[in-house]
Chains A and B, each alone.
Chain A
Amino acid sequence: MTGGKLKDEVVRTTIRAEDDWEPIGPTPMPSVTDLRNWDLRLLDSYEPFYAPFCDLCCLCTYGKCDLTADRKGACGLDMASQQARMILLKCLMGTAAHGAHARHMVDFLIEKYGPEHPIDLGGQVNVESPIIRTVLGLKPQTLADLRKAVEYVEGEVIHLLSATHTGQEGDHRDFESKAFHAGMIDHVALEAADIAQIVGFGYPTSVADTPLVEIGWGAIDKTRPVIVVIGHNAITSNAIVDYLKEKGLYDKVEVAGICCTALDVTRYASFAKVVGPLSQQRFFLKTGIADVIVTDEQCVLTDIPDLAKQTGSALIACSDKICYGLPNRSEEEVEAVLAHVLEEGEGVLLLDPKKAAEVAVKAALALAPRRDKSLLSTEDAAKLAAKCRGTCELCNQACPNLLTVSVAVNAMRQGDPAPIGRLFLRCIGCGACEQACPHHIPVQRLMQAGAVQEKYKLRSGRGPIHDVEIRKVGSPIVLGTIPGVVLFAGCSNFPEDIDDVAWLAEELARRKYIVTLSGCSAMAAAMRKDAEGKTIYEKYTPEFDAGCIVNVGSCVANAHVVGAAIKIANIFACLPNRANFELMADYILNRVGACGVVWGPYSQKALTIGTGAVRWGIPVVLGPHGSKYSRLFMSKKEHGDWRVMDGRTRQLVDTGEPTPEHMMITVESKERALLTIIKQCFRRNDTPPGRAIKLNSYISVAKQVLNSLPDDLQNFVRTERDIPIVYKREVLAYLKEVGWQPKPTLSLPTVIGTYETRVPIEATVKELPKK
């Protein structure tokens, strides 16, 4: 919506301007250009970096247009702008997926409980929705208020999407500003969706020590009827749990999930199990262990009807997003639907969750006794691999994760299942190898013979970070004495072993970082045991504090970590957040050492979440597949302009230190990732003791992975007081060698005042009245 009296009126009504919980800031329900100056300021320091996937633009019938060698398309777009346009489109896919998810969840729960159902996140969470409060200026009190937040997202998506049409936006920085907007409103949708399901389904909130649940394909008891739920929207999965409880069947039927639905169903019922992240979806479905497959939305394989046919599993699709061409049986009686499923082997679309639940359970009970769920033996696997000679390498060439599939298949041919077991741990589950094989060797089925049937412990998602936790850690985070808050989010398109996330998380937790996880990353982090057989969830505290391992929940629960950063500004620093996006983001950028990590990025949603994080001032580190998003945000490091305002003296100060160094970067190895994550938690606001603690981690990891001091140490040592005592002599000698000069240390750095904004610099120090 553009500005003007009409908009003002609508906004004031929507956010109940008369509510006096905080004064209304400058940007209630911001429209597409309201935060543009903030975005452009960010882009001044962190330029978009493009790595085009394609030399062409093929989006309109003027083309194909060749954009190489500084050529422009028929519409006038150059390569950079075309890249940014595609980024905006991808981000909008992510926003739309989360927004539609939130819309479905909120509408479903309003239908069930009414619009006035209260938002109550328990005694430990008073600032219930830091993102919605900051972005919209609304303090949601009911489900109907969450619907307002979703409606705002929906409205903005239309404007943003229109900008991608040919003959609209033409500047890459403005496209990026719009992508930031898509990312920010995506976070609104995430928060609305998760709060809705917490209050609607009674998921854990205001508690840290949530149950430990079982994860791993070995955790699934295939002697029982097995229902596998896949996707992100647990409405139907929870209905299955309800039905099982109602009928006293919960200990007779296995409910197991893949991807985020798995995390959310375990928040609802700890007897549910998690098969694993989405990379194991194809593998697991091919085992045939699932008697019934129930799909909802997002990250669900689009050829599941074929997979279900191959194994004789029943298929129930439950989302209007994924109909698979199946007949819609939603209006039919349960017994009639069952007849189609059991007698005709028909997959069905059932959009009524209760009906889908009943059909799923009854179908599983009926099918399980008649199905053979035995796994492939080593002998049978060797027979299936018999035609492989390990020489054509077509499977290797097809593998998007660059794995040497042929070696494992050839070993299997010779009766050795170990290599294919190791391959399983690196496989991203796309099935490209099978399609490339001229002998049609079923590589993913062969993995049944080699993959260890392990099970692990995963702490179920705990939802929002508590206000009391923020009060405890706010000061040490801002001072730097807790060295950082790291969120491992996103998908399982991991470049190497699935348990590398666990390695990274533990390296940070034992250095006293606050480590949070969500989605498939949270699952993968459970898939590593120490010598005593414990996972990191069993070894580290689940409380949001130094050295913790916190699973916040599914993808939509990512909102709580961004929310925690906002709460630090709002609760600890007492800055008003109501409709005050720039003030919050500036605080996070300069003073909250937070970093997002997506080690296995694949989805548009992960790109959107990351892009939104950048607008909030949270840098993002991506695994190597993240380079295929085709856009990063990079600074010029020590060659950049690092002037900021000193909020106390209101003087422009050249800090000379690149912190945060980049806002979105891809790194190649887990070792480099660890170094980079640690570095991305540096903030200009760090006190000398805080910086010394951070540098201690940075140096110790550099010695571990590079066998030397970091080569850019001089960029981050401001005064000798920043140097960790244990390394003092060595570091001083190095600094002398490279001609290091001291840099200013600011207690109140801000970029407010370095660009045109309605936020006065005084606001960066103004405190909320203590109520």
Chain B
Amino acid sequence: MAAEVLTTPYYRVNVLTGTRAARVVDDPAEAARIVAGAKNPLYVLGPDAVRLSAGDKLLIDYALDIAAARDMPICATAHVKRKLVEYGKKPDSTYDIIEIVHFLKMPDWKGVRGEGQHDLVLFSGVRCDLAERGLSTLKHFAPHLRTFAICRRGHPNADYTVPVTARGDRWTEYLQGLVAALG
């Protein structure tokens, strides 16, 4: 059976007008396998990660757990660094969202830790319309990497996306499941 793809996300402004849509990853264990299979992943965090909650935690709390599970570097865009400083953490990069996407599309870029271009990039907490534009850039101009939208609203221009998840409790379960599966 062909994998399910996402063409109509939660926000209609992000509906796919095209031919290449994201594969829906509705099982957090599979999401964990994708993340675990990456050699040099990166997690890009936008400001909604510090504004939106999932259950009784902020989205950024889950994102930090996911990153920590794989020693994944973090790019804190917009003003996300402020929250990380509060947490006593230092992001690996504070490039803004468009800047990090710009560097990610360069095949020979050295990555945020100087260890080479990343092969998988996770996105959370970036404003959905802006994220979709950045994912489109990477879809078309960064064939050397894959993208994974860890966002309950769904992103057709990513390579992998969380399914549109209307219910908050299901979203929390997904995040918890992903963290647990990553060990």
Nearest-Cβ distance from residue B105 to partner chain A, whole angstroms: 8
The answer to whether A671 touches B78 (Cβ under 8 A) is: yes
List B contacts of A676 (CB < 8 A): 96
Bound form: Cα–Cα A636–B109 in Å? 10
The answer to whether A56 touches B96 (Cβ under 8 A) is: no
Nearest-Cβ distance from residue B107 to partner chain A, whole angstroms: 13
**A706 near B: Cβ within 8 Å?**
yes
Q: Interface size bucket, B side? A: 35 or more
Nearest-Cβ distance from residue B48 to partner chain A, whole angstroms: 9
Indicate which residue in A50, A67, A68, A627 contacts B130 across the interface (CB closer than 8 Å): A627
**A400 near B: Cβ within 8 Å?**
yes
**A49 near B: Cβ within 8 Å?**
yes
List A contacts of B128 (CB < 8 A): 402
Binary flags per residue of B137-148, CB closer than 8 Å to A gives 1, else 0 = 101110100000
Indicate which residue in A665, A706, A711 contacts B82 across the interface (CB closer than 8 Å): A706
**B133 near A: Cβ within 8 Å?**
yes
List B contacts of A49 (CB < 8 A): 98, 101-102, 137
Binary flags per residue of A633-647, CB closer than 8 Å to B gives 1, else 0 = 010110100000000
List A contacts of B81 (CB < 8 A): 706-708, 711
Bound form: Cα–Cα A672–B46 in Å? 11
**B13 near A: Cβ within 8 Å?**
yes
Bound form: Cα–Cα A705–B94 in Å? 13
Bound form: Cα–Cα A568–B17 in Å? 46
| Chain B residue nearest to A66 in the complex (CB) | B19
Contacts known (A51-B137, A68-B140, A634-B98); A624 close to B86, Cβ less than 8 A = no
**A625 near B: Cβ within 8 Å?**
yes
Size of chain A's interface in residues, with CB distance under 8 A? 51
The answer to whether B96 touches A68 (Cβ under 8 A) is: no
Binary flags per residue of A417-455, CB closer than 8 Å to B gives 1, else 0 = 000000000000000100010000000000000000000
The answer to whether B127 touches A628 (Cβ under 8 A) is: no
**A126 near B: Cβ within 8 Å?**
no
Bound form: Cα–Cα A91–B85 in Å? 42
Nearest-Cβ distance from residue A595 to partner chain B, whole angstroms: 15
Indicate which residue in B12, B47, B78, B143 contacts A69 across the interface (CB closer than 8 Å): B143
List B contacts of A712 (CB < 8 A): 94
The answer to whether A667 touches B85 (Cβ under 8 A) is: no
Query: Which residues between 467 and 508 of chain A lie within 8 Å of chain B, taking CB atoms?
Result: 495
List A contacts of B137 (CB < 8 A): 49-52
The answer to whether A628 touches B85 (Cβ under 8 A) is: no
| Chain A residue nearest to B134 in the complex (CB) | A51
Nearest-Cβ distance from residue B122 to partner chain A, whole angstroms: 17
Contacts known (A49-B102, A668-B96); A55 close to B78, Cβ less than 8 A = no
List B contacts of A47 (CB < 8 A): 102
Indicate which residue in B20, B46, B133 contacts A55 across the interface (CB closer than 8 Å): B20
**B1 near A: Cβ within 8 Å?**
no
| Chain B residue nearest to A703 in the complex (CB) | B82
**A632 near B: Cβ within 8 Å?**
yes
Bound form: Cα–Cα A80–B137 in Å? 10
Contacts known (A676-B96, A706-B79); A630 close to B133, Cβ less than 8 A = yes
List A contacts of B77 (CB < 8 A): 668, 672
The answer to whether A400 touches B13 (Cβ under 8 A) is: yes
Residues of A at the B interface (CB closer than 8 Å) are 47, 49-56, 66-70, 79-80, 393, 396-400, 402, 432, 436, 495, 624-625, 627-628, 630, 632, 634, 636-637, 639, 662, 665-669, 671-672, 676, 705-708, 711-712
Q: List 23 A-B contacts (CB under 8 A).
A: A47-B102, A49-B102, A51-B137, A55-B18, A56-B17, A68-B140, A79-B140, A80-B141, A402-B13, A495-B127, A625-B129, A627-B129, A632-B98, A665-B98, A666-B133, A667-B96, A668-B46, A668-B96, A668-B97, A669-B78, A705-B79, A706-B81, A711-B94
20 additional contacts (CB under 8 A) given A56-B18, A666-B133, A668-B97:
A47-B102, A49-B102, A49-B137, A50-B137, A55-B19, A56-B17, A66-B18, A69-B143, A79-B141, A400-B11, A402-B11, A436-B12, A624-B129, A636-B103, A665-B98, A671-B78, A672-B79, A705-B82, A706-B79, A707-B85
Residues of B at the A interface (CB closer than 8 Å) are 10-13, 16-20, 46-47, 77-79, 81-82, 85-86, 93-99, 101-103, 106, 109, 126-130, 133-134, 136-137, 139-141, 143, 166
Q: Which 7 A-B pairs have the closest CB atoms?
A: A55-B18, A51-B133, A627-B133, A671-B79, A54-B17, A669-B78, A400-B13
